[in-house]
């Protein structure tokens, strides 16, 4: 069967057959409006103003067996009705109504609410963009704040504020509150490096009023000089000057986008959007040339949480232990990507939509870009010189398909890449850039510092506070089927016994299949090992279990003590690797309600059940991270710090899957010559 035709039958909807979206497509603007209308009928706006806010609106993804059944029926060419197994189209809503958190499931086909639950646990839903915007304006009509500005001789028209989550530090009862901190923009738009240190307001977000205020001390606001980053405002000298690079594709792009379904080379997958996660990759399968069929690799994958604890324990900073996904929404703060800079000239773009505070759709233009990357890398090569009178050189240039998003949560910009390679590998990249969140101080030189300032002195009165980034990924791997196992293959040193060899030692592989969740909790870096998700029910011709291997990036472990409150809430970072049995409700490593929660609904808690994971439908969770000691090169804006990891086929194919790949036709440039 033609590969493209197979792909179409497997993943695409024909407009002639069905006008409904793919069952994993994100909610459309019309669907968001419908959800808003349905929910507001049951929870009408009060006469005193809005009493209903939409904290989260997303696809209530169909149960996995329903999706797999739908795929199966749509690949059956003998089936005339390709849509008869269409899963129900539903939305999941978290709303605030009369100071309660509601979990609402809406059926879009029947235009009705099919379930409602009042959340009784600890914690609150993520802040909406509208709530944070309203809260940060409150100080400007608050007289004590105005007095603080007068005391510092600051122009109120050049002050901007931001809304921060404040976490949980053992309080028996909590309210839905947030901290407001402010910055001075006079002379620079780089506000995060010009803080008004010592000044903060505590806001009750439900009542939208200031409930406490502090102005503890006065230190100089870091100067504006040297903080500009806009090209139009920078003064010479400039450099270095980079030459332009062009990518030419004679036959047009090598990928196809139909709705949210994408095909490229030997890959097919679905790209979705979630207001909390951002990009969601589903149904990723790769074509096996030898078996002449697509084979399952990844059912669903996304960034589940990003945890950033700052390391200053003082009154103004101790609470800055932020969960960027669960408290603020990685998808909600996605930036519109800029053609030719964020993404190359050969990129295609997709928009995204989320529900604002009042439920109305908000559009993110160019939320994703998809492009083929040709970076001069080598896919494989070999030069053979051992054959007499002959030199054989075979080289294949590499290419990848990239799916990119950028989420700007306050001062930091996170560049999130999914990279699909013809070899079968999936690489997940993270780039950290943006501006640092700094603390203002009295110091202008390190010689003046006599105590721990919890950071690096970057410029006059400017301290870059030490902090971490932990990114936890949800990876529901289905390696050639749903039933998988997790295998730890430790590399162990063996001493040669007797006099059988001149060697005294060697290393070998000792493999162990994890039986339960406890067996699969791993902190990397202490013992060399190979971590593979295998399908124990299928083997290669030589008898190896087919699988995909986790190739970790930089290994980072938490340095906070385990009973510290931020670490209790972020206990899912205690291990780099977790494996759990698939459970539709277990998708957010930090819990469903993260703001001010107590860490009692996290991956670490679910895993305590120690469920069986051998030959089951399992989910791999992987946490990568960075301990960030700021340096002067990170100021006034930070060059991208890159990291990532790889999911790599391991005995998945019978041999090199790109042995017979065809190299792209070379473009001939006037200044290029080739020698033969």
Instruction: Report, as residue numbers or ranges, the catalytic residues.
Output: 324, 412
Sequential DSSP letters for 45-68: PBTTB--EEEEEEEE-PPPHHHHH
Tokens 């069952």, residue located: 23
Structural contact between residues 294 and 268, judged by C-beta atoms closer than 8 angstroms: yes
Tokens 């051998």, residue located: 614
Structural contact between residues 562 and 571, judged by C-beta atoms closer than 8 angstroms: yes
In angstroms, the first-to-last Cα distance of the chain is: 40
Note every long-range contact of 492-495, with CB atoms under 8 Å and residues 24 or more positions apart, other chains counting.
none
The residues that bridge with 371 in the sheet, in sequence order, are 402
Give me the count of residues in the chain. Answer: 676
Give residue 266's region: left, alpha or beta (phi > 0; psi -120 to 50). Answer: alpha
Give residue 59's region: left, alpha or beta (phi > 0; psi -120 to 50). Answer: beta
Distances (CA, A) of 74 to 15, 77, 245, 401, 647: 14, 7, 43, 26, 28
Q: Six-digit token pair at 528? A: 């060399």
DSSP secondary structure letter of residue 590: T
Structural contact between residues 370 and 337, judged by C-beta atoms closer than 8 angstroms: no
* 127/325 Cα distance (integer angstroms): 10
Give residue 526's region: left, alpha or beta (phi > 0; psi -120 to 50). Answer: alpha
Helical H segments across 527-615, by residue range = 565-569, 603-606
Cα angle, residue 61 at apex, residues 546 and 613 outer, rounded to 5° = 35
Listed residue (334, 314, 315) closest to 324, CA to CA:
334
């Amino acid at each position: 069967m033609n590969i493209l035709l197979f792909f179409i039958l497997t993943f695409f909807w024909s407009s002639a057959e069905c006008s409904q979206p793919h069952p994993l497509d994100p909610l459309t603007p019309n669907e968001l409006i419908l959800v808003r209308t349905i929910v507001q009928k049951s929870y009408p706006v009060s006469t005193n103003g809005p009493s209903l806010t939409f904290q989260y609106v997303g696809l209530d993804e169909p149960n996995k067996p329903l999706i797999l059944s739908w795929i199966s029926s749509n690949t059956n060419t003998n089936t005339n009705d390709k849509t008869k197994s269409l899963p129900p189209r539903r939305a999941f809503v978290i709303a605030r109504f009369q100071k309660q958190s509601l979990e609402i499931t809406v059926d879009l086909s029947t235009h009705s609410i099919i379930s409602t639950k009042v959340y009784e646990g600890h914690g609150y839903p993520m802040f909406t963009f509208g709530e944070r915007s309203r809260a940060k304006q409150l100080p400007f009509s608050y007289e004590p704040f105005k007095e603080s500005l007068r005391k510092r001789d600051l122009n109120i028209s050049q002050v901007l504020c931001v809304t921060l989550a404040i976490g949980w530090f053992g309080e028996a009862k909590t309210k839905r509150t947030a901290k407001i901190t402010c910055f001075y923009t006079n002379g620079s738009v780089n506000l995060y490096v010009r803080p008004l240190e010592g000044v903060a307001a505590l806001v009750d977000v439900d009542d939208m009023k200031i409930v406490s205020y502090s102005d503890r001390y006065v230190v100089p606001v870091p100067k504006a000089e040297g903080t500009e980053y806009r090209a139009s405002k920078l003064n010479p000298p400039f450099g270095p000057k980079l030459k332009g690079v062009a990518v030419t594709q004679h036959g047009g792009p090598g990928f196809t986008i139909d709705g949210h379904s994408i095909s490229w080379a030997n890959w097919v997958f679905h790209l979705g959007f979630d207001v909390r996660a951002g990009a969601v990759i589903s149904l990723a399968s790769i074509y096996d040339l030898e078996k002449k069929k697509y084979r399952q690799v990844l059912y669903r994958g996304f960034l589940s949480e990003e945890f950033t604890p700052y390391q200053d324990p003082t009154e103004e900073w101790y609470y800055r232990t932020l969960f960027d996904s669960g408290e603020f929404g990685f998808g909600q703060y996605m930036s519109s990507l800029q053609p030719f800079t964020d993404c190359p000239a050969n990129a295609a773009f997709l928009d995204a939509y989320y529900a604002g505070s009042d439920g109305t759709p908000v559009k993110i233009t160019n939320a994703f870009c998809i492009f083929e990357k040709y970076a001069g890398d080598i896919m494989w090569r070999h030069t053979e010189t051992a054959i007499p009178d002959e030199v054989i050189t075979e080289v294949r240039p590499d290419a990848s398909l990239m799916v990119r998003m950028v989420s700007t949560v306050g001062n930091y910009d996170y560049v999130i890449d999914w990279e699909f390679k013809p070899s079968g590998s999936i690489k997940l990249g993270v780039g950290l850039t943006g501006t640092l969140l700094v603390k203002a101080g009295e110091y202008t030189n390190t010689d003046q510092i006599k105590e721990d300032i919890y950071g690096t002195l970057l410029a006059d009165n400017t301290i870059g506070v030490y902090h971490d980034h932990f990114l936890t990924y949800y990876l529901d791997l289905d390696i050639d089927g749903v039933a998988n196992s997790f295998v730890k293959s430790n590399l162990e040193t063996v001493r040669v016994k007797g006099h059988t060899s001149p060697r005294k030692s060697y290393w070998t592989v000792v493999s162990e299949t994890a039986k339960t969740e406890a067996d699969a909790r791993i902190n990397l870096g202490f013992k060399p090992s190979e971590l593979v998700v295998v399908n124990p029910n299928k083997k290669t011709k030589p008898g190896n279990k087919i699988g995909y291997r986790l190739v970790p990036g930089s290994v980072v472990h938490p340095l906070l003590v385990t009973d510290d409150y931020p670490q209790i809430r972020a206990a899912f970072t205690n291990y780099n690797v977790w494996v759990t049995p698939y459970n539709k409700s277990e998708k957010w490593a930090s819990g469903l309600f993260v703001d001010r929660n107590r860490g009692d609904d996290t991956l670490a808690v679910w895993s305590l059940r120690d469920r069986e994971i051998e030959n089951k439908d399992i989910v791999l969770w992987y946490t990568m991270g960075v301990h960030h000691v700021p340096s002067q090169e990170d100021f006034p804006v930070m060059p991208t710090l890159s990291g990532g990891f790889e999911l790599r086929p391991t005995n998945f194919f019978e041999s090199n899957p790109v042995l017979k790949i065809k190299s792209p036709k070379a473009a001939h440039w006037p200044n290029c010559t080739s020698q033969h």
